[in-house]
Every structure is written in C-alpha cells, then in structure tokens.
C-alpha cells in the first residue's frame, strides 16, 4: 500500500499572454464532403511575440509547438500561404506575421524561429491578408510562377497598402498601392474580395476598395461619425456572394452590397467596439462577431426579404474578444476565438447551440515545471525568468494554513534568475551535484544555451554563477565517414540554441534537441568545487532513422488535375508541412540513463542505447511502429529490484551473494509508456525488442475506460509509482484531469469498467438511467460534445477550487431567449465525492485516511484540479509500519501546481457588464 501526500500549490504566478490574432492554414471549403486535410493547423499569436501551432485532429485539439517570441515583441497579425503545386496540391504551407513594426516576418516552422524579414519601408503595419489561392488559368490568364504564387498585402498607419510576393519561396516587394485618405487613415483591417481586389477597413470612418493590378482605389464606403468621432473599422470580411461585412467601434455590424458598394443593413449588436467578424455556412449565410462586451453573436438570414438578424448570442469569454478565425470542411465547422482572457475557445459554427463550446488550455501543454525530488526542489521557467523553490515537509493540518495565517509557509523561494537576452526560454533542466547541496542548471532559448552553478549558502538561498561552455567542441556523428583524413567538424554549443534540453538522471549526459531537431548529446563530469562541470571535449550527434514520406497517389493527382464545375466539391489542396512534421516534441531517458527515446510530431519514435559510454542507435528501434498521432507524454518505467532474496553461495570464506554487473540493463528498464494525442491512446513498448510490451498486447486501447478516451485535454506528463515489481502504477495528468492506471493488472472489459469507476449512473431529462457512453455524445464540428436533450446551451462556470462550491451564473443578463435555465454540470455530485474519498488512492496527508481498506483498482480518476501545470514527486520515499498488523506503508509526496484562471491578472474591462 502507498500513502500519497499532496502539496497543492498555487503560488506559481505564471500568467499566459493575451491572444491577439488567429489564422487557419487553409481556406474554408464548406461545400466539400471530405474531412479536413491532415495538414490543417491553426496559428495563435500572443502579446509576448510567441505563436502557438495547434492541430485540430478532428476535435482532439493538440498544441504541437510554440514559435517563441521575445522581449517587447507582439504578434498583431497572422496569415498563411501555400506554394502552388500544379501536380497534386502539395505545395509548402508558409506562415507570416506582423507586430508593431514595418517588417513582415516569415517563420520557419521546422526550426521554430524567423526565416526571413522584409521591411516594407513605410509606417507601422496594422493589418495583413493573403491573396486567395490560384484556381487555374482562365481566358486571357497565364499561369506563370509570379501569377500562381499568393501575394500578401499589408496596411500601415499612414493609410498606405503594400503588396508583397511569395513566389520562389521568398518574400519580395512588388508595389505600393495609391494612398487614399489622409496620412492619419490607419488601415485597421484587410480582406481580399478576389485575387485582384482588396477591401480595407480604415480609421477615418471609411471602407475602401483597391484594384491591385492598377494600384488605384476604386470605391469608398462611408460610415456616419459617432458624436463627431471617427469610426474605426476593426474588421472586414467577404461573403461567398461577394457582399462585404464590417465590424466597427460603434458596436455595429454592417452589411454592404459587393457590386455597387452601398450599405444594405446595419445592426447595433455590441455595447462596445466590435473587434472581430467572421463568416461561414455552406451558402455563406452565417456571420459571427465578437467585441469588448465579451459577447459572441450569430447572424443569419431571416424572413423572405433576405434580411440579416441576430439568432443567438453568448458570452464565452471573460474579457474583450480580439480575434476570430473560421474553418469549414466536411462536417468540421468551427470558429476559434480568443482575446484578453488568454483562453482559446472553439465555438461550433453550423451547430451553434446544438454543440458545446470547447475551451482549450491557456497554460503551456509542454510542462514548464520540474522537480528534484531527493532535494525537495521545484523549478519553473517562462519568458526570461527562472525560479527555484524548496518545498518544506508539512504534517497534518499545517499543509492547509487557515485564512489570515502566513501563506508563505510550506515553501521558500531560494533562487530567481532573470536573463539579459531578448529571446524567451524554450526549455530548462536541473541536476544535483553529487555529495553536495549544489545544482547545475541548463537553460535554452532558440538562439543560445547557458549553464549555471547554483551554490548553496548559509542563508538557504542558492548563489548563481555562470558556467562557461567551451567555444569549440568536436562534433562527432554516428555516420561512418570513409574520408578519415578530413578534419573533424567543430560546434559552438552555446550558440546552437535548443527547443528542448534535458539532463540524464545520473547527470552524466546533457541532451540537446536543436531548433531544427538534431539530436546532440554532451558527456559531462559533474563534481563539487569551483568548477563543477567539465566537458568531455566532444559533442555526439545521433542520427535518426530515415522514415518514408507519404507518397502522392496517382488517384490524388488525377482528382486534383480534373478541373470542372464540380471542382469545389473535390478534395481541397492539402499542402505540405514537411519537414515540420519531423519536429521532435518529446524526449526522455530511462531511469538508469542507459536508453534514450525521442518522438516527433508525425508519430515516429527513435531510440538509442548507451554502450561503452557512447550512444548508439537501438538495433531493434526500426521495428517500432508509427503512432497514429504524436506522442504527448512518454516515460520509461523505472526498474525495481525483485523482492526475492538474492542467490547465495557458501564457500570456505563464508557466504557470497551473486551480483549482476552494472552494465547489464534490467528487462524492465526498457519499457516505455506513451500517450498519444488522438483519443488518448496508451501504449507500452519494449524498446530493446522493438515491440509492444506484454501488458500493452493484453490491453489494447479499446479496453481503456471510455471516460479517459473522450477527455478533451491532451496528456501533459506521466509519473511512475513503483514500489515493487508487483505494484506498478502510472499517474497520467493533464490541465484538467489526473488518471491512475495500475499496470500490475489488466484492464477490465468495457462492461465491467463502469463499475470500476465508482461513479453513480446519471439520469436524463426523463429520469431514465444512462450508460456512461451516453453521458456526452461526441460532436462533429470540431468543438465540444453535443448538447443532450433537456440540457441547456448555456455556459458552465467552474468555481474556484478553494471553495469547492459551485455558483450558477447567467451567460447574458439581457438575453431574450426563452429556454429553460440551464443545469449546472459537475464532475461529481455529493454522493460521488463521498464515494471517491473512500476509494481515492491519494491521501491528503492525514494518516487517519488509511484506516479504511483501499480496493486494488485497475484505474482511478479525478477532475478536482483546474489549469494543472504540474503533478510531480517531491521528497524521498519512506516506509513506516501501520496498524496492529504491522503492515508496511510506503510514503510518497507529490506537488500539485495549479494556476486557476480567476487568479490570473487581467487589465480592467472596458465593458463592466455581467461576464
């Protein structure tokens, strides 16, 4: 039996940056019957200059990578283009951004950093838009490279428009369009009406239209000033029939005729500025808007006169809605929105009201917190700052100080490092110095790597001293080179930069995953003294397995090249993300530091084995199968010696015990547990044998609990609890849930799994008992689950975890809908909570909880924590005797780091209505 004490921590003051812009990689094709292309991605820009790349995966949204920004940088606009490929539509997908400067930046997705910059030689750029993709040559049109390539238009603060070409894989200046209006007419928003017409929303109460070929402004639409103030047109979009929709600072949504550019209709929708407008629907019959009043409003054609009217409104956000992006293809029909409240929310478009919204985690999906359990240290990093705490041992009620008591009890900040460079941190790792209380810290940005010596002092604080990395180290590769006379290559490790950096458990190897996903290992010797780190003099680059790229089928080429009237319903151009799909996103060492595994976004796992101090490719690694989706969490099962006594031999000298050599790898050490992004599949591999483990063969993903497979948040980490070969439990955690799986036993069959969860069955609106599989019908739009009969479409608000109570809040105090007040959906009712306490394998630190016998469950779950940033061990494992029977109990401590949204600082709302 294991006694687990939890340190529930909320002192980590991480605040996500605000969302400023959102863009999908593909244009919507609502008339297509095909599912979205597998290369579909969404880019989310934030105020710290970072760009998040999300993969919708149907409705299993996966945060794949982050293109890190830096100090005083902000992403104010995003757009994608696709290089033209006349053969099969497999042109490269490219991402561009703007941000409070006169420069347009193209990003290298695979390397995670800017690829090129182009100065438009004008004022600060306020808006950006990409030309519609080439649809084939018509009468009088030639399909040259310059014509088929997508152009980009940007609008500046002085009212000028600049056209940029993306032909040939580069950015080049094409021309500046004729300035219209005064020099103070900022271009706030842009959209292409067709491949040669641009519509711009201005800051001088006008909407202007330009012809790109002539460079002249051809039309002007005026808006009435409000109390003598200029109207700011924050957003403009074009419907399928060519009509124009705008949202402005008056809170109005206006509809304009796309032929004669006259006002058709205007609707006063928002109490403040309307900041974002999006369009959708199979026939272009849906418009959705968001603004500073936090409302999201849907408009559709009503009546026989084809007039527009509001059909629904909700408050999904808790602050200004600054950005929206819509995508439709097949059954996928959703809008991704975000703003000052930092949380991306996926809203169903066609199924608005019939399906729930889906709130994506605002906290990082790659953990930014780690611990050194044996020294009770916890470290966090984000931006340009690193903090190190010491977690104190607390007993009983001291773990939960009462109101008014010292909230600093239980931890102490012992080190804080602020970097002088401009780039944001990408990764950090820490390892103890043997036989001392010192530590070695390694941090990385996209441009450099740094090492620090954290030296203990009498004041408990850690003194920080930078460790110099040799400027030139020999680069050794695992590939054999016949030309042995060539001089070896050298590498300046400090300036390589890294997307991921990690010490091996024994501290003798430093793993560096470079921005372009090369695998470098550095052999280190860490010891006490003034120079705690010495380098071996060489850096070893590990070669990854060559993986086959998906072939372009003849049928795909045939379908793509058949241009006809039905072409719109054919499969859309997929585009290519290679080599971004080979980006390494996870890496881990075995507990004895002898095996290394790295995984990439395409689902491949490369493994390496340490032989005679040199990392070599695993001979059987090539037989490991490709995962159906990227690995989001993976850890090796730690080895635990068997409890049976060792074999002994009686000799003349006495009793001698048989010992295994240190170089021998135990059989259990090579078992790698992996959780995938799609449907939370759990797989365990025997790495050295290149196959699934026996447990994974007996327990395919279909036998995993249904509630686990439908979890919306992706797994973020795995923690092992192994006390003996017969007691192996894996704790898998995400932003909103924690699951435990006992790998020492098999999972129950599907029909038996319902009883194992220990939850009472729910009842529908008619009082009938439902099976767990009926609790939530999976939606098809890419957002949340379907709204069940008798369930309202209102929002569900989570109360702060401190109170453990729920508060029902109306989603709009002046909503005129006449539907029944919605029911509050909780993870568990009171009876379930009591039952959960009896069967909970965790204990809150009070040893009295152990008086009740615990069932040996194959799995267990909790949704008690929100915005969970870390679920990690801290402290050494201890054993003690419990009860009159003398049962041996193993004690284990964990830190649960939460960052509740209600505790995050946000600027004051412009609109003070009910949120």
Q: Show the low-confidence residues of the chain (pLDDT under 50).
A: 138-141, 397-405, 481-482, 563-570, 644-648, 655, 657-665, 763-774, 793-840, 843-854, 915
How many domains in the chain? 1
818 C-beta neighbours (distance < 10 Å), count = 5
Residue 656: the pLDDT is 52
Strand order in the sheet with 859-862: 717-724, 727-733, 738-742, 859-862
The pLDDT value given to residue 811: 42
Helix H or strand E segment including 487:
none
- pTM of structure: 0.88
Flag whether 769 is in a domain: no
Q: What is the pLDDT of residue 769?
A: 44
Rounded Cα gap, residues 139 and 159, in angstroms? 34
What pLDDT sits at residue 200? 97
pLDDT per position as a tens digit, 511-549: 999 999 999 999 999 887 778 899 988 999 999 999 887
Question: Is 277 inside a domain boundary?
Answer: yes
Angstrom distance (rounded) from CA 852 to CA 850 = 5
Q: What is the pLDDT of residue 408?
A: 67
How high is the pLDDT of residue 885?
64
Burial 232-266 (b: 16+ CB within 10 A, else e): bbbbbbbbeeebbbbbbbbbbbbbbebeebebeeb
Task: Please tell me the distance from the alpha carbon of residue 538 to that of residue 729, in angstroms, as a whole number.
Answer: 39
Domain carrying residue 66:
19-136+145-359
Task: Decide if 75 is inside a domain.
Answer: yes
Residue 84's domain is classified under what CATH number? 2.130.10.10
Do the domain assignments include residue 540?
Answer: no
Tell me the two tokens of residue 193: 């009406």
Helix (H) or strand (E) segment spanning residue 148: helix 145-148
Is residue 104 situated within a structural domain?
Answer: yes
From its phi and psi, is residue 720 left (phi > 0), alpha (psi between -120 and 50) or beta? Answer: beta
- Measured in whole angstroms, the distance separating CA 568 from the mean position of its chain's CA atoms is 32
Q: What is the pLDDT of residue 660?
A: 43
Sign of CA dihedral 268, 270, 276, 278: negative
Give pLDDT, residue 394: 62
- Does 546 reside within a domain? no
Indicate whether 4 belongs to any domain: no
């Amino acid at each position: 039996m294991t006694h687990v004490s939890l340190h529930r921590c909320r002192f980590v003051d991480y605040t996500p940056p605000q969302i400023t812009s959102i863009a999908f990689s593909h244009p919507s094709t609502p008339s297509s019957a095909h599912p979205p292309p597998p290369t579909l991605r969404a880019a989310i820009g934030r105020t710290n200059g970072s760009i998040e790349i999300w993969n919708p995966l149907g409705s299993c949204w996966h945060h794949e990578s982050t293109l890190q920004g830096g100090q005083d940088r902000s992403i104010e606009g995003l757009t994608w283009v696709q290089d033209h490929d006349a053969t099969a539509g497999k042109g490269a997908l490219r991402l561009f951004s703007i941000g409070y400067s006169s420069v347009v930046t193209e990003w290298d997705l695979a390397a995670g950093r800017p690829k090129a910059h182009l100065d438009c030689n004008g004022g600060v750029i306020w808006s950006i838009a990409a030309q519609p993709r080439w649809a084939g040559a018509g009468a009088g049109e030639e399909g040259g490279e310059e014509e088929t390539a997508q152009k980009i238009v940007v609008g500046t603060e002085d009212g000028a428009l600049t056209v940029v070409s993306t032909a040939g894989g580069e950015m080049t200046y094409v021309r500046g369009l004729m300035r219209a209006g005064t020099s103070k007419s900022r271009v706030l928003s842009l959209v292409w009406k067709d491949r040669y017409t641009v519509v711009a929303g201005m800051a001088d109460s006008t909407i202007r239209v330009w012809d790109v070929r002539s460079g002249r402004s051809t039309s002007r639409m005026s808006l009435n000033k409000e109390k003598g103030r200029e109207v700011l047109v924050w957003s403009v979009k074009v419907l399928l029939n060519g009509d124009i929709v705008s949202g402005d600072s008056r809170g109005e949504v206006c509809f304009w005729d796309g032929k004669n550019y006259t006002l058709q209709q205007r609707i006063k929708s928002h109490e403040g500025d309307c900041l974002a407008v999006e369009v959708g629907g199979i026939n272009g019959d849906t418009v959705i808007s968001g603004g500073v009043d936090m409302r999201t409003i849907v408009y559709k054609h009503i009546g026989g006169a084809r007039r527009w009217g509001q059909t629904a409104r909700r408050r999904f956000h808790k602050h200004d809605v600054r950005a929206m992006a819509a995508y439709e293809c097949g059954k996928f029909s959703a809008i991704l929105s975000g703003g000052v409240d930092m949380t991306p929310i996926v809203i169903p478009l066609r199924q608005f009201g019939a399906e729930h919204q889906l709130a994506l985690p605002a906290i990082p999906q790659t953990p930014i917190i780690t611990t050194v359990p044996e020294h009770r240290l916890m470290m966090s990093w984000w931006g340009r700052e690193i903090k190190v705490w010491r977690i104190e041992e607390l007993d009983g009620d001291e773990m939960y100080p009462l109101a008014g008591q010292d909230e600093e009890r239980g931890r102490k900040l012992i080190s804080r490092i602020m970097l002088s460079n401009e780039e944001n941190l990408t990764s950090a790792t820490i390892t103890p110095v043997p036989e001392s209380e010192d530590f070695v810290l390694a941090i990385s940005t996209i441009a450099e790597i740094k090492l620090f010596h954290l030296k203990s002092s009498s004041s408990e604080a850690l003194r920080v001293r930078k460790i110099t990395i040799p400027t030139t180290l020999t680069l050794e590769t695992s590939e054999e080179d016949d030309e042995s006379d060539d001089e070896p290559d050298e590498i300046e490790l400090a300036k390589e930069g890294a997307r991921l950096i990690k010490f091996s458990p024994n501290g003798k190897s430093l793993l560096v995953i470079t921005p372009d996903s090369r695998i470098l290992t550095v052999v280190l010797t860490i010891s006490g003294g003034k120079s705690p780190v010495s380098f071996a003099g060489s850096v070893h680059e590990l070669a990854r397995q060559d993986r086959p790229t998906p072939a372009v089928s003849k049928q795909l080429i045939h379908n793509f090249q058949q241009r006809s009237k039905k072409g719109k319903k054919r499969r859309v151009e997929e585009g290519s993300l290679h080599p971004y799909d080979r980006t390494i996103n996870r890496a881990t060492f075995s507990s004895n530091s002898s095996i290394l595994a790295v995984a990439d976004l395409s689902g491949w796992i490369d493994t390496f084995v340490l032989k005679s101090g040199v990392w070599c490719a695993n001979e059987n690694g090539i037989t490991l199968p490709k995962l159906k989706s990227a690995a989001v969490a993976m850890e090796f099962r730690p080895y635990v010696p068997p409890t049976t006594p060792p074999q002994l031999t009686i000799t003349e000298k006495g009793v001698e015990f048989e010992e295994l050599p240190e170089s021998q790898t135990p059989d259990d050490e090579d078992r790698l547990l992996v959780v995938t992004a799609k449907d939370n599949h759990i797989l365990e591999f025997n790495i050295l044998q290149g196959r699934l483990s026996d447990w994974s063969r007996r327990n395919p993903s279909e036998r995993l609990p249904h509630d686990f497979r439908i979890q919306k948040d992706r797994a973020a980490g795995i923690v092992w609890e192994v006390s003996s070969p017969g007691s192996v439990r894996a704790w898998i955690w995400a932003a909103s849930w924690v699951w435990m799986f006992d790998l020492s036993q098999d999972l129950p069959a599907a029909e038996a799994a319902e009883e194992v969860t220990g939850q009472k069955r729910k009842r529908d609106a008619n009082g009938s008992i439902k099976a767990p599989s009926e609790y939530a019908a999976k939606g098809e739009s890419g957002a949340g689950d379907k709204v069940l009969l008798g369930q309202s479409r209102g929002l569900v608000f989570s109360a702060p975890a401190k109170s453990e109570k729920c508060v029902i809040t109306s989603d709009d105090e002046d909503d005129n809908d006449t539907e029944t007040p919605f029911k509050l959906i909780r993870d568990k009712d009171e009876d379930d909570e009591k039952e959960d306490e009896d069967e909970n394998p965790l204990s809150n630190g009070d040893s009295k909880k152990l008086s009740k016998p615990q069932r040996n469950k194959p799995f267990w779950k909790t949704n008690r924590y929100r915005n969970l940033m870390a679920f990690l061990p801290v402290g050494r494992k201890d054993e003690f005797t419990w009860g009159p029977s003398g049962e041996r109990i193993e004690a284990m401590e964990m830190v649960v780091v939460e960052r509740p949204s209600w505790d995050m600082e946000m600027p004051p709302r412009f609109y003070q209505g009910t949120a």
